[in-house]
Amino acid sequence: MRSPVISATSRPGGPGVRRIALAATLLLIAAFLTVVLPAPHAHAASAGNVTGATKSGDTVTVTTSSGAAARVVLARADIFRIWLSPNGSFTDDPAGSDLAVKTGFGSVGATLTDAGSYYRISTPSISLRINKAPLTFALYRADDTTLVWAESQPTNWTGSQTTQYLTRGADEQFYGTGLRLGEWALRDKTVPVAVSNQWTENTNASPAPFYMSTKGYGVMRNTWAPGSYAFGAPTSLRHNENRFDAWYFAGNSLKDVLNGYTDVTGKPFLAPIWGLELGNADCFNASNPDYQGDPNRARHQTTPDVVGYATDARNADMPSGWFLPNDGYGCGYTSLPTTVTQLKAKGFQTGLWTSTGLGNIGWEVGTAGSRAVKTDVAWIGGGYKSAFAGVQQAVDGIENNSDARRFVWTVDGWAGTQRNAVVWTGDTSGTWDAMRWHVPAITGAGLSGLNYASGDVDGIFGGSPKTYVRDLQWKAFTPAFMTMSGWGATNPSTGYHDKQPWRFSEPYLSINRRYLQLKMRLMPYLYTMSRHASETGVPSTRAMVLEYPDDPVARGNETSGQFMAGDSFLVAPVVSDTTTRDGIYLPAGSWTDYWTGKVHNGPGWLNGYSAPLDTLPLFVKAGAVVPMWPQMNHSGEKPVSTLTYDIYPRGSSSFSLYEDDGLTRAHQTGSYARQRVDVTAPASGTGDVTLAVGASTGSYTGKPATRGYEFTVHSASAPGTVKVGTTTLAALTTKAAYDAATTGWYYDAADRSGTLWIKTGSTGSAFTVTATGLTVPAGTPVGGTSPSSPISKTNWKLAYADSQETAAENGAATNAFDGNAGTIWHSRWSTGTSALPHEIQIDLGARYDVDSLTYLPRQDGGVNGRVGSYELYVADGTGSWGSPVATGSFADIATATKVSFTAKPGRYLRLRALTEAGNRGPWTSVAELTATGRPSA
C-alpha cells in the first residue's frame, strides 16, 4: 500500500492549526537566529596586517600577522571569490558546491603585483587591491583608478558572526536579498537574510545571501548561515558564522552582474509552457478520515472530483493550465492515474504538494503522470540547506522518472533556488495593502535572478471580488501564478464563491476571462522572455532600473509600484479601491496605451489615468514587436496555424522569437527554433515601414513546416500600398472582408487610434512586408511631477533628537526611519530620563510638499513610550518651524496611524511628542515614521 504525498496548506481552522503551530515554532527559531545572537562588538577580531602574498595559477593566498589567511580565487576575469579564514585553514566550507555550481571558466591569467602599500591582482576586467596595513580589500575597474567598492575597515569576527564593512557611494543604490516582501531599492534599509516564515511586509519569504549595486558589482556570501545586511554608510554585511566567504561579480550593468551571478549559481530553469498558465490548488479528497477540515465539502469528496472543476473552467471558456488537487494535511489523494488522465483530456496538467517528503514520487510521476511538486513549510520550513535539498529532491523526482521539465514551487529558497523552483510569498491575505507590497516584492525578486516569483492570487485568506480581479490582472503579466481555492472569506460577497476565477459572478467573471485570455495570446512573448532569463539571468518581470539604469527615478522606490513585463510592456497595477491611477512613471521614449492607442512621451509622470475595474494600466514601448498566439484556453488546444506580430513601429527594432516543444527537456540538447523579425520605420513623421521576417531556424518535435502570418501595425495613417516581397496585397474595405480573406490588408482608424491589419498567407520561408506612407504617432508629453506618494527614505538623515537611549540598547533616533519596524528610537532611560516633550527632527534630503506622516509605535511587545498628544511641523530649515501642520493624539495601540494634512513645502520634518499615550512615564518611542508628498521646487 503506497503512502500518498500529503501537503501543507492553510485555512482558518482544521488542519491549518498544525501549520500555524509549525510556523510559530519556525518563527521563534528564526527570531533566535536573527535577533538573539549578539551583534558584532568592540572585541571582535580581525586579520591584522598582511605578511605576504603568493600566487599559484589563478589563486592568491594572503598571510597575516594574526595567523588568519585569505584566499582569492579568480574564476573568470570578472568573477572572483574571497575566502577569509580566521584560523588560516581552508577546510571549513559548509556550502561546498551547493550554491556555486560552476566555478571553472578556464584560465584567467591573473597577475599579482607588489605595489608597496598594497598587492594588486589584475585581470582584463578588474583590479583587486589587497591593502597591507591592515588587511582590507578594494575593487577597481581594469584601469586601476575607477573604484567599484572598498572595505571601510577590516572584516571582523566574534566567534559567532562575521561582518564586512564597505564604503557607500554618494548615490549608490542596492538591490537583491531574494524574495523580499516590500520595496526593492535597499539603500538605508536593514534587510534580514534569514528564514522567518512570517510572510508579512519587510520580511523575506525566500532570502538569498546576494545583493548588487549600481556601482557595477554583486556579492554572494557562500554560506547557509542566516545574516543581516544594513545598506547604510558604511554598509554592514553580517552572517552568523565564524568565517568569511563571498563570490564577487563585476559588470558594466546590473544585467551583466545578474549574468555573472547566475553563471556561478545556475541559470533560472525554463518552465514547461503550461507552467506559465494559471494554476489552481485545493483539497479534493475531503472525505479522507485523516482530513481535519469539513469532511462534507461539496464536490470535494474524492480526488477525481477535481475533474468537475476542470469542466466548469472549460464551460466558462476560462484559460487555466494545471491543478494541484491534493492538500496533504490529512487530505492526500485517491485514484491519481485516473484523475491525471481525465484532467489531461481537458488540457490540464496535474501536480501534488507535500508536507512530509517525496517517498512515492517515482510512482506519482512515472506511472500516475503527475508533473509538478509544491513543497511547503511542514517539510522544508526550516529553510537553508534542508529546504534547498528538499527542492532538489522534487526536481530529481520529476526528471528522473519522466522526460518532463522540473516545475516545483517552494517557500524558503536561497541563492541558487532560481535554477530549480518558483518561489512564492507564503500565506498572505486578499487585501489592498498586501497587494501593494506584493508588486515590488515579486518584481524585486528578479533582482536576485529569480525569474519565477509569485504570490497566491488574492492571497490565501480573505479576499473579495475586486481584490481578486485587480490581483489577477497584473499577475497575468508575470511568468508563473496560482490561485489557492477554498480558503477565502467565511461569508463571501455575492458572486464570490471561492478563488477559482470561473466561479465569480459578472462583471468579475468576464474581467478574469479577459486577462487570462490575453496572457494566453501573449504566451509566445512571455515564453521567449523566460527563455532569455534562462540564458542571461535577466528576469521576465523587471524592475524599472533593469531597463533604465541611468534614470535616477527608475533607480529608486518611486517606481516600485510598477514593472516591465519583458522588454516591451510597462505594467502599473492598481492596488487600491479606485478607478483612477496616479503616479505612473514613463521613462524617456514613447509609450502607447495598450487599450486606446494613445501615445505618451516620457520621461515624466502620468496622473489621473482612468482605470475602471476592467482596465489594468498597460503601456507598450515604442519599437515593440510582440508575437501572439491564436486565442486558446491552454497550450496545445489549437495548432499555431497563424502567428500574429503586434508591432509599434518607431525607428529600428527587432524581436527574436523562441519556440520548442514546451514540455520536455529536449531543448537542452538543441531541439528548439528561433525566428527574428526586424522592423525599420521612421523615428517620427510619415514614411515606409518594413517588416523583415526571417525563416524559423532550428527544429523540435511538433514544429510546423509552414504557418500563416498576421501583423497589426499601429499607425496614425493608412498606407499607400502594402507589399509582401514584390507582390502587392489587396486593400480590403471592411474588417469582415479582411477576416474572410486569406491575404490582404485593412486599415481601421478607430481601432486603438489607428491599426493596420495585414495577412500575408502561409509560408515556411523568410519574407519582407513593406507598408508605404505610415505615420508614427507624435504623442503627448507627460507631466514632470510625481503625485503624492511615499517619500523615499534613501536620503533621510537625523537633524536632531533631544533624547535617545544608546547605552542599554540601541535606541538611536535614526531607528525611527531606518525602514525596519523591528528597531526603535527610545528616549533615554538607563542613565537618567529627561522630561517630556521629546522631539525628533528629520532632514528629508530634498524639498517636498509633505501631506502626511504615519506613526508606527514600537513592535517589540513593549508599550512604554507610545506617543500620546503630538505636534507636527514641516519647514525649510530647523531655525524657524512656524506653526504646526497638524496636532492631535495617538491612541494607546500598537498599530500604525496616519495623519494627513494640507501639503506644506519643506525639507525638514519635526515630530514633538507632548505626552505618553498611557501616562506610564516621561518617555517617547517610535518604531517607524513614514511620510508622503511630492517633490517641490
pLDDT tens digit sequence for 884-929:
999 999 999 988 888 989 989 999 999 999 999 999 999 999 999 9
Express each pLDDT in 504-537 by its tens digit: 999 999 999 999 999 999 999 999 999 999 999 9
Q: Nearest 5°: CA angle at 811, between 810 and 817? A: 110
User: In angstroms, what CA-CA distances link 289 with 221, 285, 331, 560?
Assistant: 47, 10, 8, 47
Given a contact cutoff of 8 angstroms between Cβ atoms, the answer to whether 138 and 131 are in contact is yes
Q: Where are the alpha helices (DSSP H) in 217-358?
A: 254-265, 306-315, 336-345
Express each pLDDT in 359-400 by its tens digit: 999 999 999 999 999 999 999 999 999 999 999 999 999 999
Beta strands in 460-531 (DSSP E): 461-462, 482-484
Whether the per-residue pLDDT at 26 is higher than 60: the answer is no
Looking at 329-343, 580-594, 788-802, which range is the least confident one? 788-802
CA–CA dist 390, 377 (Å, integer):
11
Whether the per-residue pLDDT at 14 is higher than 60: the answer is no
Question: What DSSP assignment string belongs to 577-640?
Answer: S-SEE--EEEEEEEEEETTT--EEEEEEEE-SEE--TT---EEEETT-EEEEPPP-SSTTSS--
CB within 8 Å of 345: residues ≥ 6 apart: none
Q: What are the beta bridge partners of residue 375? A: 354
pLDDT of residue 822: 86
Banded model confidence at residue 298, pLDDT cuts 50, 70, 90: confident
Packing angle of the helix pair 508-521, 465-475 (nearest 10 deg): 10
Given a contact cutoff of 8 angstroms between Cβ atoms, the answer to whether 414 and 207 are in contact is yes
Mean pLDDT of 708-712: 98
Whether the per-residue pLDDT at 402 is higher than 80: the answer is yes
Mean pLDDT of 609-616: 97
Mean pLDDT of 212-229: 98
DSSP 310: H
Dig out the grid coordinates for 264 from the structure: 556561478
To which residue does cell 473579495 refer? Answer: 464
- For residues 484-508, b (16+ Cβ closer than 10 Å) or e, as one string? bbbbbeeebeeebebbbbbbbeeeb
Banded model confidence at residue 492, pLDDT cuts 50, 70, 90: low
Express each pLDDT in 633-680 by its tens digit: 999 999 999 999 999 999 999 999 999 999 999 999 999 999 999 999
pLDDT of residue 153: 97
Express each pLDDT in 168-210 by its tens digit: 998 999 999 999 999 999 999 999 999 999 999 999 999 999 9
CB within 8 Å of 734: residues ≥ 6 apart: 746
pLDDT of residue 330: 81
- Asked if the bond preceding 507 is cis, omega within 30° of 0, the reply is yes
Banded model confidence at residue 355, pLDDT cuts 50, 70, 90: confident
What is the enclosing helix (H) or strand (E) of 434? helix 432-445
pLDDT of residue 935: 82
Task: For the chain, give the percent of residues with pLDDT over 90.
Answer: 84
pLDDT of residue 33: 40
Express each pLDDT in 533-567 by its tens digit: 999 999 999 999 999 999 999 999 999 999 999 99
CA nearest to 667, candidates 628, 699, 645, 630: 699
DSSP 501: G
End-to-end Cα, the chain, rounded Å:
74
Whether the per-residue pLDDT at 9 is higher than 60: the answer is no
Q: Are strands 789-790 and 838-856 parallel, antiparallel or unpaired?
A: unpaired
User: In angstroms, what CA-CA distances link 302 with 281, 296, 358, 708, 925?
Assistant: 15, 11, 21, 45, 55
CB within 8 Å of 716: residues ≥ 6 apart: 753, 754, 775, 776, 777, 778
Mean pLDDT of 809-830: 92
Mean pLDDT of 220-239: 97
Q: What is the 3-state secondary structure (H, E, C) of 371-398?
A: CEEEECHHHHCCCHHHHHHHHHHHHHHH
SS3 label, residue 364: helix
CA nearest to 207, candidates 479, 557, 445, 545: 445
CA nearest to 347, candidates 597, 177, 520, 509: 520
Dig out the grid coordinates for 98 from the structure: 551547493
Q: What is the 3-state secondary structure (H, E, C) of 328-355?
A: CCCCCCCCHHHHHHHHHHCCCEEEEEEC
C-alpha torsion sign, points 674, 680, 681, 687: negative
Express each pLDDT in 561-585 by its tens digit: 999 999 999 999 999 999 999 999 9
